Amino acid sequence: MNKEKGSVLRIEDLHKSFGDNHVLRGVSLEIKRGETKILIGPSGTGKSTLLTCINMLTPPDSGKIWLLNDEITASRKVNLLRQKIGFVFQDFSLFNHLTALGNVSIGLTKVKGMDRKKAREKAMEELKQVGLGDKASSYPAQLSGGQKQRVAIARALAMDPQLILFDEPTSALDPELIGEVLTVMKKLANQGMTMLVVSHEMGFARSVADEVIFMEGGIIVEQGPPAQLFSNPRVERTGEFLSRLSSLFGEEDEK
């Protein structure tokens, strides 16, 4: 793989097994600055594992990962590199004992060593960015799922990451709450944030993704711009999966 300029994340031949289960069988991909890539594929094909490998929550068996010029897989200070990678979880994983503001500022104070007052100001800005300035003093238990996920996004943003990974950010949400989260994500994409998103929201993929990646059985089967991949997949499996997906989710408007 060539070391092109502007590449934020580069993965080379990543492998990961859990016992006998060979989850990732040689995945390579690259994301450039400002790009948004969407990862789709049947469940159990290693999409989430791929994301957790990128920030080393799951250490890969072999293969290399670079963030900018640092090789994550060779780094001894993984926690320093993790600061540069935002992660948004499917189940939000907000810190339950902290308010929305506390959730967003704790990384700034504890990890980046920012002083409390500055951290609170910055956290407040991030909350406003996701439209939750008025919920700053609410605890997670007092927020709706959509609001929780927006706080989680603000928490990731506050660390000024180079890249944000989203692990099915809307799949735990009630349908009527999905929109507010996608809107925030769209806004981020338009502002030039680099993002890798596991999601089956086809409308979202079509409107913001630079590229859609179809994964199955631990490998990347096909990748390409959404328009091409959705309307004219080169690989048969991709087409099958997409048609199953759209029948499952009802009428996904085909342009």
Partner 1 sequence: MTFWQVVQHSWGPLMDGLQVTIQLTLLSIVFGLALGLILALGKVYGLKPIRWFCTAFIEIIRGTPLLVQIFIFYFGLPPYGIRLSPLEAAVLAFSVNSGAYQAEYLRGAIQSIPSGQMQAALSMGMTRWQGIISIIMPQALRRVIPPWTNEFIYLLKYTSLAYIIGTQELMAQARFVASRNYEYFHTYLFAALIYLVVVLVFSEMFSWLERRVKIPGFEYHK
137 binds partner 1 (CB under 8 A): no
CB-wise, 94 or 229, nearer to partner 1? 94
Q: Could you say which of 13, 42, 61, 95 contacts partner 1 (CB under 8 A)?
A: 95
Cα–Cα distance measured from residue 47 to residue 131, given in angstroms and rounded to the nearest whole number: 29
Least distance from partner 1 to the Cβ atom of residue 254, Å = 36
CB-wise, 109 or 228, nearer to partner 1? 109
Classify burial at 177, counting beta carbons within 10 Å of its beta carbon; exposed 0-12, middle 13-18, buried 19 or more.
middle
Here's the x/- map for partner 1, 151-170, by CB under 8 A: it reads as ----xx--x-----------
Q: Could you say which of 41, 46, 60, 107 contacts partner 1 (CB under 8 A)?
A: 107
For residue 204, give the 3-state DSSP assignment: helix
* DSSP category for residue 96: T
* Pick from 90, 91, 121, 89: nearest CA to 104: 121
243 binds partner 1 (CB under 8 A): no
139 binds partner 1 (CB under 8 A): yes
Q: Could you say which of 66, 87, 166, 214 contacts partner 1 (CB under 8 A)?
A: 87
> In the window 61-80, what residues touch partner 1 (CB under 8 A)?
79-80
User: Tokens 């060979």 — which residue?
Assistant: 22
Structure tokens at 104: 């967003």
Contacts 24+ apart (CB under 8 A), 5-8: 6/32, 6/33, 7/31, 7/32, 7/33, 7/66, 7/68, 8/32, 8/33, 8/35, 8/67, 8/68, 8/162, 8/163, 8/194
Here's the x/- map for partner 1, 7-36, by CB under 8 A: it reads as ------------------------------
Q: Could you say which of 75, 93, 162, 228 contacts partner 1 (CB under 8 A)?
A: 93
Bridge-based pairing of strands 21-32 and 7-18 is antiparallel
Q: Which residues lie near partner 1 (CB under 8 A)?
A: 52, 55, 57, 79-83, 85-87, 89, 91, 93-97, 106-107, 110-111, 138-142, 155-156, 159
